[in-house]
A = this chain, B = another copy of it.
Amino acid sequence: MDICKFSLPEIIFGRGSMQYVGSYALQLGAKKVFVVSDHGLESTGWVGKLLNILDKSSLKWVYYANVSPNPRDHEVHEGAELYQREDADVVIALGGGSPLDMGKGVATVVSNGGIIQDYEGANLITNPLPPMIFLPSTAGSGSDISQFAIITDVQRQVKMSLISRSLTPNVSIIDPDMLNTADDALIVSSAVDALSHAIESYVSRIAHALTETQAIKAIQLILDNLAPALQTRDPLALENLSIAAIAAGMSFSNACLGADHAIAHSLGGFFDTSHGMVHPVLLPAVMRYNLPACEEKMALIGELILGQRLRSARQTAEAGITRLEEFFYEFGTASRFREIVDDQAAFPQICEMATRDACLLTNPRAATAEDLLRICQEVW
């Protein structure tokens, strides 16, 4: 094993844990909080509840909700201006990956200056960020745990990956009750996102014992709990999906990802597609491509999916991937790119850009733009 790192935020987990957000903000020295969320979460009532808690803690706040589903560079800069104009001192983000990544973007720009593009890549953030408290409303993005932020550069049509220890929030308050207001589509796309984090980070070139344990735990929990969570909104199943997202976040934040995410970022920058839609199409194809480079690990994933081991590692791995496709299909996800984007012509450019994404560095099998294009064509 090479030298590896493992870090994560302080996690507060449990139903009703949102109530502690005020005391944590005060502990972190907050006087005026910059709150990020989006209009969807306002309508569920969670934003109002959060602001009430801040009021009861006698905290001032300023609220920002100009956040696209794939958050954009100019939205970050607008948020940063508001933060500075209002003299805020702590960032609280409530939402799925988009408001959380927006919180990271704003925190980066207000403390390090310049524009968000200056920090694209790994370890380019030097000044400490203002304290961040995150409240994830979905069980999927892992942004509440991870060192990653994904922001779209609108002009270049690319989702930039920012990776830095500083992007891990100080505290994540994870309240599975928030999943009660999520609709089926959101629960599925979030779980699929978490599953792709777990699978890609498990076979990553820099996976290690501490991340692998988490990845395996996440895969098992999602396979076991997604159906009951949808069918009956069983609180225990929802809680387990939350735990799965945390475990997957611990894994990918420290072991990074692979070709599926590299292409998904590139595709998302171009077509503004969401991760949750892309993975069911792309992940099985990427797993097949990677299989020769990590047969035993793919077999272990296969064993989790199938509930048994077949005659050989290769057979188990292959049958597992096929069963995974059926698993996705049962939840009504797309299985071909043509179902979610309308133009195949951009794929060569998308795959070319994907080769420059940091996630490709840790893919278990080397891949050129041509390799990536072949993967995409297979599932057109």
Contacts and interface: CB of A to CB of B under 8 A. Distances in A.
B14 A247 contact: no
Nearest to A240: B209
Interface in A1-60: 1-17, 20
A217 interface: yes
Nearest to A212: B217
A13 B212 CA distance: 14
Given A209-B243, A213-B217, A246-B210, A13 B17 contact: no
Contacts of A209: 217, 240, 243
Nearest to A173: B3
Given A209-B243, A213-B247, A3 B14 contact: yes
Contact of A7 (B5, B11, B15, B243): B11
Interface of A: 1-17, 20, 165, 208-210, 213-214, 217, 239-240, 243, 246-247
Nearest to A244: B209
Contacts of A208: 13
A9 B210 CA distance: 13
Contacts of A2: 14
B213 A13 contact: no
14 contacts: A1-B14, A1-B239, A3-B12, A3-B14, A3-B17, A4-B13, A4-B14, A5-B13, A7-B8, A8-B8, A10-B165, A213-B213, A213-B214, A213-B247
Given A3-B15, A5-B10, A13-B208, 12 more contacts: A1-B14, A1-B239, A3-B14, A3-B16, A6-B13, A7-B11, A8-B8, A11-B210, A209-B217, A210-B243, A210-B247, A213-B213
A188 to B, nearest CB: 22
A132 to B, nearest CB: 15
A5 B214 CA distance: 17
A15 B1 CA distance: 8
A214 B8 CA distance: 15
Nearest to A1: B14
